[in-house]
Amino acid sequence: MTRSPLSTRVLLTCAAIGVATGILGGIAGWITAPVLATVPIVYGFVLGAHVLPGIIAQEATHLPWVALISHLVAALVASAIAPPWVFSFLGTAVLFGGIQELVAAMVRYRAWAPWRFFISGFLIGLVVALAVYFAADLDALAPWAQAVYLVLAVLGPIVWTAIGLAVGAALRRAGVARSIRR
Amino acid sequence: MTSAPPTSPARAAFDPYAPAAPASAVRFLYRLNPLAKIAGPAPAMLVLIFTRDIATPLAFLLLAYAILLVGARMTRRLALLLGLAVPGALLALGLGFSVWTDAARVDQSVIVWQIGGWTMYGGALVIGFATAFRLAAIVALALIGGVTTTGPDLVRSLVQQLRVPYRIGYTALAAFRFVPRFGHELEVIRAAHRVRGAHGGRGPIAAIRRWAGYVVPLLAGAIRHAERVALAMDARAFGAHRTRTERYLVPFRARDVVFIALMWAASAGLLWWGFPWQLG
Amino acid sequence: MTPAERSPTPLLRIADLAITHEGADAATPADVSFTVAPGEVVLVLGPSGSGKSTLALALNGLIPHAVPAEIAGTVSIAGHTTADTSVAVLSTHVGMVFQDPDAQLVTGTLLDEVAFGVENLLLSEAEVMRRTEDALRRVGLWERRGENPDRLSGGGRQRLAIACALAMGSPLLVLDEPTANLDPAGIDDVYAALGDLVSAGDRAIVLVEHNLDAAIGFVDRVVVLDADGRLVFDGPARETLRAHAARLHDMGVWLPTSTLAALRLQRAGYALHPLPVTPDELRAALAVSPAAEATPAPPTPHTDALADPLIAVRGLTVTRGRQTVLHDVDLSVRRGDFVAVVGANGAGKTTLVQAIAGVIPPPRGRVRIDDIDPGRVHARVLAQRIGFVFQNPEHQFLAHTVFDELAHGLRLQRVPESEVRQRVDEMLERFGLTAKAGIHPFLLSGGQKRRLSVGTALIAGAPIIALDEPTFGQDRARAEELLGLLDALHRDGTTVLVVTHDMQLVAEHATHMAVLREGRLVRHGLTADVFADTALIEAAGLRPPPLATMLSGMTGHPALSGAVRLRDLPGGTA
Ligand SMILES: Nc1ncnc2c1ncn2[C@@H]1O[C@H](COP(=O)(O)OP(=O)(O)OP(=O)(O)O)[C@@H](O)[C@H]1O
Ligand SMILES: Nc1ncnc2c1ncn2[C@@H]1O[C@H](COP(=O)(O)OP(=O)(O)OP(=O)(O)O)[C@@H](O)[C@H]1O
Ligand SMILES: [Mg+2]
Ligand SMILES: [Mg+2]
């Protein structure tokens, strides 16, 4: 019998992380419109919060595929909470999760030092910056606002990555998911 | 051969498994495959990102409203979304973006209003509302699938049509059960921390520190619960074979193809009509 | 001769089993061998930590396949060695029911839930439906098949879990404390279903259970592990309990209430032979036993006369969401009372004590503690009046070490650091946590977490402590330890409020009882008086304490007939 490397236990741990961060994502979804209407230049920063499922899952388990699965669950849960953003949730899940998996795969799931997470954070920041730039027509903003926006959009995922790593470290201190981690 | 479940009198506040209540045949959206409701509007949503005029997104907004009004049952939630949330957001976003628009780059011929040294030009309003309509149209198109699909059905079609491994699909299904539980846990944790006087005080810094304190207890409880559920699933032969008996089929039928084709045709038509989508 | 020796092919054979959890330094269970024959019902007993749950997980291969642990010796079921067979294959031989009903649910309806396991076996849809219907009918839930499992009571959900296990078609069913988390009606519910199962006789059952009163009626055999996880007794249920009752009691194994009562009565000179292990046996033995010199039990001192109301609830109505959870509740608690708040699931017990303790702020002016309104004061002031212990201790932990956790309340009061240190050290000492001062609260054992949460509630010097289901999910030994602590606090003058489902606990410890039913306070009074109103108890979905049921109507023994507490029985302190 071929046994998947992902035990049910790992899968459901991802589900738990996905649900907890997905609730957060749903809330972020509902504050998107007010943020865009009042201070659009920080939107990229808010969107960066969506890196969390993958970071926490990878940091907690050090296993392949966990980032993508946690992202998928988070997106489904967030969509149930804030249905208008279904597509943006699914899109960010595939995109962010994909980038996080790719970066982890490039180092063959061996290196788990913080720098590795920050590389994926930086890549995600670039993608976010571009996507939102078009969708919200930031071209029309004053040059200073565009600059602030770009910096925040790239910085957002990096800061959120750091937050995710801190959460992972706190969970480890509390002895959670210890026996799963390789 | 599943029997129709007896309808239950009361329902929990959030029941992701609640079967869609029976709807008349006109409400066709419930009879479509969830993937069709994603694939149909998707191209339009992608192209809309690059439009800059008002007419094109407005046309798509009307299209989405028409589809929803005919094809979806009018619930309180949908009424609030369509009647209040979308128009409200449209207005707020339009004004917000207009304010943020760089005055140096717009047509300054029409002055709408002036406050002190600051002037709102008609050109800025046009740009701001173009953006607002664009986002509103994208959101309204997303609602077509968003309000007529249950999470479990979406998961099932991911497994049945897109060949996502069923173990991952069922992970997601089990996850829906976690949502109300974790929501309740979060409520209890907040009450507990508040009554113990953790990080009281006002302001964003205190709020951030408060929320940071909820993360570990919430996730720790969540992961331990998940581990117990995993044992219970393994004990019932979860993952024994490459496939499992599927009693709920979420078929992809001719009507789904028709829906996608119609959506794509309508999208192409509207886009062609509005081309070149530049600000007039 | 055990039944297994009579049977040619045992269903389950355990040989020299020792299991060491990853990171643990000793094996629990350490050395266990026994067999189970088809159709046999085996009860596994042992003190907390002896490895009963671990043993249960090994029976269907979850250990070692899903839980990292080292396993020595063998477990074989119907000829398969668990170490070499996948859990999926083993699941068709061993069905499992766990302690927490919520942690066994995966899908959205009862029907889907039972079908889930069968579908994994890749059987035809017709066969899936046949087995599902059969299993649901056997536990009496077929009529409710379309509902969301969340809408079942705790007992109902546990019956559902039994149906899920039955549907797998396994000849052996393993249940690990299936009633530990249930209210009295729920426990009856589950045991009714199990009783039906046993009388059908087509499944062997391995049952881990602390609540012997319910289980002893239908088990054939007991297997007893000691604190080190070694097998000490294996034999026919009643005979084994009878022969080794004293030894089992000393080991910390919980005995049937009737046996505890009988042991006590024997000391008082009653001739009860053989030692009764069921209520019926106790009554039968008492019926033929001459009444001993009746030494009336010393009356329990009540504190009624002592004091003025410390907690005053007046016309409290609480709504949550769109539901009115408490209707117009009036309650006065005097200094030094030990009040048990009881009622069925959802009756509003948690809401009431939380409103009193200011966890959910009550409407203005409806609750007074001493001189404050708990919903209107700063946490610092509140902590000096009342300490609240949440059902799950992890919810209330704030700090990264045990020391800081205790110090938090004092630092909030701006107590100087040197005094903080001194008072925290005292508290650590008192709760046996000194060696754990530097570690993360989440790394403590369940019992230690509970003690820490009680310590945090007490450290600011509150004269009132309120606890929400403090024995929930705890085994007897830990529960007893906690109750001893509460008794000691109560003796020292602390007012205690406790929410619980355990009627014997109420009878043994509480001076007063507050009975809630559907959000209304239907009775508040001295414990004995309230229990005497059997119609009220029944209507509130409760049960009288087991001892009272056993002894009610014992005409030959006037000294015993009104007893509800073990300590009311003659026989001195034990
Ligand atoms: N996942 C685990 N990892 C490490 N140690 C564990 C794990 N589960 C249990 N243990 C330890 O193994 C021992 C036996 O635990 P087990 O839960 O089997 O006892 P038990 O007899 O069921 O006790 P209780 O009556 O409290 O349920 C305990 O010392 C426990 O701390
Ligand atoms: N935050 C909430 N929102 C809505 N309803 C709630 C909330 N909290 C509790 N309820 C409802 O209030 C009722 C009483 O709840 P409460 O928790 O006080 O009952 P309980 O007596 O403690 O029950 P249990 O024995 O199950 O713990 C229940 O029907 C519950 O569903
Ligand atoms: Mg156990
Ligand atoms: Mg409660």
Q: Over the stretch A53-92, which tens digit does the pLDDT of each residue have?
A: 999 999 988 899 999 999 999 999 998 888 888 888 888 8
Indicate if the pLDDT at residue B204 is higher than 60.
yes
Measured CA angle at C342 (ends C336, C347), to 5 deg: 135
User: Would you tell me which residues 356-415 of chain C have a C-beta closer than 8 angstroms to some C-beta of chain A?
Assistant: 400
Closest residue CA from atom 30 of ligand 1: C49
Which residue of B lies nearest to C374 if distances are taken between CA atoms?
B195
User: Would you tell me which residues 187-206 of chain C have a C-beta closer than 8 angstroms to some C-beta of chain B?
Assistant: none
A-to-B residue pairs, Cβ atoms closer than 8 angstroms? 182
Indicate if the pLDDT at residue C1 is higher than 50.
no
Q: C-chain residues within 8 Å CB-CB of A3?
A: 86
Q: Which CATH class is domain C3-231?
A: alpha beta
Indicate if the pLDDT at residue C168 is higher than 90.
yes
Q: Determine the distance separating the centroid of ligand 3 and the alpha carbon of C185, expressed in angstroms.
A: 22
Q: What is the mean pLDDT of residues C237-250?
A: 89
Domains in chain C: boundaries: 3-231, 262-294+545-574, 309-544
Residue that wins the pLDDT comparison between A85 and B265: B265
Q: Is the CB of C53 under 6 A from ligand 1?
A: yes
Give the Å distances, CA to CA, from B214 to A107, A177, C370, C520. 33, 18, 31, 33
Nearest to A69 among B93, B142, B171 (CB): B171
Q: What is the mean pLDDT of residues C300-315?
A: 69
Per-residue pLDDT tens for C337-354? 999 999 988 889 999 999
Indicate if the pLDDT at residue C541 is higher than 50.
yes
Q: What is the mean pLDDT of residues C403-422?
A: 92
Name the 3-class secondary structure at C460. Answer: coil
Contact assessment for residue C537 and residue C530, using Cβ atoms and an 8 Å cutoff:
yes
Give the Å distances, CA to CA, from C199 to A176, C203, C218, C394. 43, 10, 9, 41
Q: Distance between CA atoms of A82 and B142, rounded to whole angstroms?
A: 11
Q: Tell me, what's the pLDDT at C34?
A: 94
Contact assessment for residue C462 and residue C383, using Cβ atoms and an 8 Å cutoff:
yes
Q: Distance between CA atoms of C459 and C411, rounded to whole angstroms?
A: 11
Q: Tell me, what's the pLDDT at B4?
A: 34
Residue that wins the pLDDT comparison between C4 and C571: C571
Q: Tell me, what's the pLDDT at A101?
A: 94
Q: A-chain residues within 8 Å CB-CB of B37?
A: none
User: Would you tell me which residues 136-155 of chain B have a C-beta closer than 8 angstroms to some C-beta of chain C?
Assistant: 152
Residue A171 to residue B223, Cβ atoms within 8 A: yes
Cβ contacts of C473 within 8 Å, gap of 6 or more: C99, C100, C180, C181, C446
Pairing between β-strand C512-517 and β-strand C520-526 as defined by DSSP bridges: antiparallel
Q: Tell me, what's the pLDDT at B279?
A: 56
Q: How confident is the model at residue C85 (pLDDT cuts 50, 70, 90)?
A: very high
Q: At what angle do helices A86-106 and A114-135 cross, to 10 degrees?
A: 150
* Ligand 2 first shell, C-beta below 6 A: C 320-321, 323, 325, 343, 345-351
Q: Distance between CA atoms of C383 and C249, rounded to whole angstroms?
A: 39
Domains in chain A: boundaries: 8-173
State the closest ligand 2 atom to the C-alpha of C343, by its place in the atom list counted from 1.
21
Cβ contacts of A48 within 8 Å, gap of 6 or more: A124, A125, A128, A153, A155, A156, A157, A158, A159, A160
Q: Tell me, what's the pLDDT at C320?
A: 85
Per-residue pLDDT tens for A129-176? 888 777 777 777 888 888 888 888 889 899 999 999 999 888 888 888
Q: How confident is the model at residue C79 (pLDDT cuts 50, 70, 90)?
A: confident
Residue that wins the pLDDT comparison between C561 and C27: C27
Which residue of B lies nearest to C127 if distances are taken between CA atoms?
B245
Q: How confident is the model at residue C28 (pLDDT cuts 50, 70, 90)?
A: confident
Q: Distance between CA atoms of B51 and B275, rounded to whole angstroms?
A: 9
Contact assessment for residue C369 and residue C386, using Cβ atoms and an 8 Å cutoff:
yes
Assess B165–C contact: CB distance below 8 Å, yes or no: no
Q: Distance between CA atoms of C512 and C528, rounded to whole angstroms?
A: 8
Per-residue pLDDT tens for C465-517? 999 988 876 666 677 888 888 999 999 999 999 999 888 889 989 999 999 99
Q: Determine the distance separating the centroid of ligand 1 and the alpha carbon of C503, expressed in angstroms.
A: 27
Per-residue pLDDT tens for B111-157? 777 777 777 787 888 888 988 999 899 999 999 988 888 888 888 99
Q: Distance between CA atoms of C23 and B277, rounded to whole angstroms?
A: 65
Q: What is the mean pLDDT of residues C280-288?
A: 84
Least confident of B195-199, C455-459, C490-494, C523-527: B195-199
Q: How confident is the model at residue C260 (pLDDT cuts 50, 70, 90)?
A: confident
Instruction: Kindly tell me the number of DSSP H helices and DSSP E strands found in chain C.
Output: 22, 19
Using CB atoms, which chains have 3+ pairs under 8 A with A? B, C
Picking from A82, A74, A6, the residue whose alpha carbon sits closest to that of residue B176 is A74
Here the tokens at position C148 are 């969301």
Using CB atoms, which chains have 3+ pairs under 8 A with B? A, C
* Dihedral sign, Cα of residue C61, residue C66, residue C67, residue C68: positive
DSSP state string for A122-137: HHHHHHHHHHHHHHTT
Fold designation for C309-544: Rossmann fold (3.40.50)
User: Would you tell me which residues 188-207 of chain B have a C-beta closer than 8 angstroms to some C-beta of chain C?
Assistant: 188-189, 191-198, 200
The answer, yes or no, to whether the previous bond of C29 is cis (omega within 30 of 0) is: yes
Q: How confident is the model at residue A1 (pLDDT cuts 50, 70, 90)?
A: very low
Q: Tell me, what's the pLDDT at C187?
A: 87
State the closest ligand 2 atom to the C-alpha of C344, by its place in the atom list counted from 1.
25
Q: Which of C350, C517, C522 to mutate to test the pocket of ligand 2 (most atoms within 8 A of CB)?
A: C350
Q: Tell me, what's the pLDDT at A61?
A: 87
Q: Distance between CA atoms of C547 and C562, rounded to whole angstroms?
A: 10
Q: What is the mean pLDDT of chain C?
A: 87
Here the tokens at position C60 are 């269907």
Q: Do the domains C3-231 and C309-544 sit in the same CATH topology, yes or no?
A: yes
- Name all contacts of B172-175 with Cβ < 8 Å and 24+ positions apart: B172/A15, B172/A72, B172/A73, B172/A76, B173/C106, B173/C107, B174/A12, B174/A15, B174/B229, B174/B233, B174/C106, B175/A15, B175/A16, B175/A18, B175/A19, B175/A73, B175/A76, B175/A77
Beta bridge partners of C36: C12
Q: Which of C17, C25, C28 to mutate to test the pocket of ligand 1 (most atoms within 8 A of CB)?
A: C28
User: Would you tell me which residues 83-122 of chain A have a C-beta closer than 8 angstroms to some C-beta of chain B?
Assistant: 83-88, 90
Residue C378: phi and psi, rounded to 5, are: -70, 150
Q: Tell me, what's the pLDDT at C111?
A: 94
Picking from C214, C268, C216, C208, the residue whose alpha carbon sits closest to that of residue C239 is C216
Least confident of B234-238, C319-323, C471-475: C471-475
Q: How far off is chain B from A178, nearest CA to CA, in Å?
A: 11
Q: What is the value of ipTM here, to two decimals?
A: 0.90
Q: How far is CA B223 from the centre of its chain?
A: 26
Neighbours of C40 (CB within 10 A): 23
Q: State the best of C372, C395, C413, C465 to mutate against chain B, taking most chain B CBs within 10 Å.
A: C395
Least confident of A21-25, A45-49, C553-557: C553-557
Of how many residues is chain A composed?
182
Measured CA angle at A132 (ends A131, A133), to 5 deg: 90
Indicate if the pLDDT at residue B13 is higher than 60.
no
Closest residue CA from atom 30 of ligand 2: C346
A-to-C residue pairs, Cβ atoms closer than 8 angstroms? 20
Q: What is the mean pLDDT of chain B?
A: 84
